[in-house]
Structure 1
Amino acid sequence: MQIRHLQLILVVAAMIPMNLSCAQKKDTPKPADTLNQLSDCVLGQMTSFEGLMEIEDLPNPFLMRNGSQVTNLTQWACRRKEVIKQIQFYETGIKPDAPDTLSASISDSTMVIRMADDGKSLEMTASVILPQGEGPFPAVIGIGFGGGTGSLPAELFTDRGIATIQYNLNELAPWGFDVERGSGGFYELYSDPSVGFFTAWSWGVSRLIDGLELLPELTIDLDRLAITGCSFAGKIVLFSAAFDERIALTIAQEPGGGGAAPWRVTETLDGEREILKRAQGAPWYASDFSKFNEDVNKLPYDHHQMVSLVAPRALLVLGNPDYEWLAEESTHVGCEAAKTVWKAMGVPERLGYSIVAGHPHCQLPADQQPEVIAFIERYLLDKTSSGEEIAISPYSPDLDRWIKWKTPDLLE
């Protein structure tokens, strides 16, 4: 049975770039807020694999490593930093800071970003297509093989006056399964082959945004910046948005395992799924992530928490249950678990998911387009001041099996 949950939210949910307010709340977060700036945190050392405890349920996103509960936005900012550090330490490899020097230029429709760090250099390029008229324009960064809108139909963006930016992921690390660990431009700058490609690719997205910030003549509205990609690129956009809060809207299309689907949940499903030990065919993850292949319950976090790092910004996850490998039942659970963070911030409508069958992989069907359009118009075009929750799925998972925590009110 298909579930279509459309619930009106009784708050004045703010849209970019409008100011947010709530009748009974204060300090309601904005979509492009940088929560990391709210607090300085002491994160401490990560626990070794041998010292990790097993956690059978999904880990509580509101539980700090020291055992204290998150009760406000300042504490959440610290919790967010903890989870980022855990993901990079155990799963992807550490994402470096911006290089020592970075410059950007634009010629015709090609943006060139030149970087140098410790005597090494790297150059990135991106195709930027602006709409007709005067800016500033909202923009979307497309990742994958479909151009400046990823695998989504270009007209969903271009017909609405949105600039498109094509991210050249192969300049950072090559796509493919028969590729060498540590190969690609990122590793010429940072020569640590233990770091996975997802770190390299997400680092490149951050540098692309750095370049946009240096080119005001492009008239890109950096408060209305979206990112999208499908399949492996759907994972890239989730990691990118989780690690970089300058992205206002994320549309992750069919990301599967390593995306919005928690490793623990996927492990319990029958069939050929993208469980953790089957996700090691390419050097996408850190070299020692395979330690968890036979014991995913030792992960001190899971991917519902990676998804929750996007909060309070907007995220739409698209799924396709026709492909068993994608483990969309797990995606459903992961999105509902992550949504508790958006609920804690008073903006649950900013996380949506649409799991719809009857179409090839990475080809958006007509009956899934309304959800995409709704998020584009809400979070890039300011066409509505409040929205309905979008939760479309053919599954009815036992959420109580996985979600054991109570959702706090972080705005009190």
Structure 2
Amino acid sequence: MQHKTIACFIFLFTILFNTHKSSAQVPAGTNVDESKVKPYTLPDPLQMQDGKKVTNVNDWNNIQRPYIYHLFEENVYGRIPRIKLTQTFRVRETGDAIGGLATRKQIRIYLSTADTSAFIDLLLYLPKSKTKAPVFVGYNFNGNQTVQADPAIFISENPLRDSRLKNADGTASDSTRGIASNSWDVKNIIKNGIGLVTAYYGDIEVDTKDGWQTGIRTKLKDELKIQPAEWSAISAWAWGLMRIMDYLEQDSNIDAKHVALFGHSRLGKTALWTGATDQRFAMVISNESGEGGAALARRNYGETIKDLNERFPHWFVGKYRTYNNNASAMPVDQHMLLSLIAPRPLYVASAEDDQWSDPKGEFLSAVNAASVYALFGKKGLGTDKMPPLNTSVGNTIRYHERTGKHAVTEFDWQQYIKFVNEQFK
């Protein structure tokens, strides 16, 4: 019986973190040969429409930044509605956790008074060592119950994308408790005086091609005055993170001025777009976000725009498909998305065995965002050479490529914890 339990755990763990392809799974025809990368020219984030270059923060904030942001809205992610709905917050449960080091809080955010089925369930771990703590905030892939094997954590009520993890009604199986704990280094986060806030991204919209039909893009379209096709799943998930930030600002145990937004894989793409949209997030961390995230689209390496649109058409707005075979025709590239985070601290991370996500393309994107950070007197990576493996480099922008596959590891969290403690001191 014990062997069956272990085998089941390994099976579920494999499902949970195979959220993107690793280098071993790269489809035939995909370029993973650096010598075959074709020459490309990146748009200059400081080049304005009138041909002049941005030379000061005022012109960046008032002219160029809004212009670049609009290009991403129109061509990549769709627009995010800014109508303020009436939200309510309900404390569902509190208790001691992590061996008494933390307080566990479970909060339900009702996103609208008109539809109580539109909600986000938060799981918070706050260190008892601080009365007002900085926090990491980020989505999880399959429900809060996967983050820790704690029977007090409520199981997600919204459907999961993967049928192998769910009950007949689509909700999460009890066997999923704690299966993602290796990717959430909760104890070390807490020991370093930082809190953790997480929620299941399927509370906003289930990650399937037709998830919009039952998610907020349909439920709240009349209240938000936006049609489902005007925005994407990534923008919907970003909108949800902004609603989480609304809650964090009124929780007296959280230092809302020091919130580090974290995301892995598709949720790393989401974190970057959210951070570009909502400057209340004081730091953004992209863990292996790849194409459509931190990686340069104009590099024909690893996953492409066409790959994304064929496999995950719901992630992006319709116009993004027009660049399937011509990334260079797109008026933006992903270094410009990173530049929208300036002057806030930004961490971009890659993995050696995740060539599908193009580690070098992620690194070069961070390199080319530095010119905007320089406007604010902030230093970028300080190098244009790929660093050795398992080495963190940079200043206000930071980067590492570690050994291993597409995942979130203890090494990653060590760097992010250090970055938070340095930048938020």
TM-score, length-scaled by structure 2:
0.69
Q: In structure 1, what is the Cα distance between the partners aligned to 2:331 and 2:47?
A: 11
Contact 1:104–1:214 at 8 Å: present in 2 too?
A: no
Report percent identity of matched pairs: 24
2:347 aligned to which of 301, 311, 316: 316
Partner of 1:239: 273
Task: Report how far residue 370 of structure 1 moved.
Answer: 5.0
- Mapping of residues 139-150 of structure 1, within 5 Å: 139-145=135-141, 147=147
Instruction: Name the SS for the 1:371 alignment partner.
Output: helix
- Mapping of residues 62-73 of structure 1, within 5 Å: 62-73=46-57
Partner of 1:275: 304
CA separation of 1:374 and 1:128: change in aligned 2, threshold 3 A: closer
1:137-167 Cα deviation digits (max 9, x unpaired): 1111122236399934223311112121112
Partner of 2:66: 81
1:100 equivalent in alignment to 2:85? yes
Q: In structure 1, what is the Cα distance between the partners aligned to 2:213 and 2:279?
A: 27
Partner of 2:293: 259
Task: Report how far residue 199 of structure 1 moved.
Answer: 0.3
- Mapping of residues 131-210 of structure 1, within 5 Å: 131-145=127-141, 147=147, 151-176=183-208, 179-190=210-221, 192-194=227-229, 195-210=231-246
Contact 2:185–2:413 at 8 Å: present in 1 too?
A: no
Instruction: Name the SS for the 1:101 alignment partner.
Output: coil
1:48-92 Cα deviation digits (max 9, x unpaired): xxxxxxx95111111122333211111111211111111111111
Amino acid at match of 1:123: F
Amino acid at match of 1:350: T
Q: In structure 1, what is the Cα distance between the partners aligned to 2:242 and 2:125?
A: 19
Partner of 2:107: 111
Instruction: Name the SS for the 2:298 alignment partner.
Output: helix
1:59 equivalent in alignment to 2:43? yes
1:377 equivalent in alignment to 2:373? no
Q: In structure 1, what is the Cα distance between the partners aligned to 2:132 and 2:330?
A: 43
Instruction: Name the SS for the 2:183 alignment partner.
Output: coil
CA separation of 1:164 and 1:150: change in aligned 2, threshold 3 A: farther
Instruction: Name the SS for the 1:279 alignment partner.
Output: helix
Q: In structure 1, what is the Cα distance between the partners aligned to 2:267 and 2:188?
A: 19
- Mapping of residues 339-378 of structure 1, within 5 Å: 339-348=370-379, 349-357=395-403, 359-364=404-409, 366=411, 371-378=415-422
Task: Report how far residue 107 of structure 1 moved.
Answer: 3.5
Task: Report how far residue 120 of structure 1 moved.
Answer: 5.4
Amino acid at match of 2:47: L
Name whichever structure is richer in helix by fraction.
Answer: 2
Partner of 1:8: none
Task: Report how far residue 356 of structure 1 moved.
Answer: 2.0
Which structure 1 segments of 5+ residues have no match? Answer: 1-54, 383-412
Q: In structure 1, what is the Cα distance between the partners aligned to 2:347 and 2:187?
A: 18
CA separation of 1:125 and 1:369: change in aligned 2, threshold 3 A: closer
Pairwise CA RMSD? 2.3
Q: In structure 1, what is the Cα distance between the partners aligned to 2:82 and 2:189?
A: 31
Instruction: Name the SS for the 1:82 alignment partner.
Output: helix
Q: In structure 2, what is the Cα distance between the partners aligned to 1:69 and 1:284?
A: 33
Task: Report how far residue 299 of structure 1 moved.
Answer: 1.2
Instruction: Name the SS for the 1:264 alignment partner.
Output: coil
Which structure 2 segments of 5+ residues have no match? Answer: 1-38, 94-104, 149-180, 380-394
Instruction: Name the SS for the 2:256 alignment partner.
Output: strand
Task: Report how far residue 204 of structure 1 moved.
Answer: 0.5
Instruction: Name the SS for the 2:72 alignment partner.
Output: helix
Q: In structure 2, what is the Cα distance between the partners aligned to 1:365 and 1:161?
A: 17
Contact 1:90–1:288 at 8 Å: present in 2 too?
A: yes
1:126 equivalent in alignment to 2:114? no
Q: In structure 2, what is the Cα distance between the partners aligned to 1:360 and 1:179?
A: 29
Task: Report how far residue 345 of structure 1 moved.
Answer: 1.8
